[in-house]
Structure 1
Amino acid sequence: MSTNLVPLLLRPKPPPPWLGVVVAVALIAAETLVLFPLRANSPTAATAVVYLCGVLAVSMVWKPWLSVLTAVASALAFNYFHVPPFRAFEFTAGRDLLTVVVFIAAGLATSRLGRVSWIFGEVA
């Protein structure tokens, strides 16, 4: 890891929220692109986990509200691009609500753990 990044990751205050939004959008876009080649060979439910990586990354550094926003945006991107019918929003209460709830719960839990580790000066 670059020595210039270490102070950014270990400082007691998170980076500005606008940077978190930019990072969240970039991660969601990257995850969406990564999943296109995998769409034919993977079950739909298994590919949703890729979006969880971005939710967790954002929630470790920024405040919980950005974690929730990233979770909802990730679930919408997953539904729009990778759930048939493609490029349309078609929500199924069981599948889509569960995806959003799991993303939000994981993001909030990670956000809480990230805040505790920053208070004690440790990296989670």
Structure 2
Amino acid sequence: MAADRQELVERLELTRDGTDVDDVAAVRGHAASVPGPGPVWVFPGQGSQWAGMGASLLDEDEAFTSVVDALEALVAAESGFSLRWALTASDVVTGIAKVQPMLFAMQVGLARSWQARGLSPSGGHL
């Protein structure tokens, strides 16, 4: 944490140089000299959504659309809204009860779309 950009830069430089910075926990390590087994897929959490974030994929990308269609009824029953509506909304979707299922569908849909194109992760995080 830092109060402003200058403090952030200073703390990052101290950490880079191996100096412990009070009240900052840092994970240190070394990059592997040999590349790992392949790519990993890391998806962001709440706050990463934007208006219409799935609109261009729905009904255009078969793999993505199949995930949304498979989840539509479940999300409607459990959370009371349509994924198709959320992924094509002209305003940013807010509220955890809508954002979380929408992001889950978006992320699983993207993963299926990439898999349909022959890509696969060696690891990842949803």
In our comparison, the structure showing a higher alpha carbon Rg is 2
* TM-score, scaled relative to structure 1: 0.29
More helix by share: 1
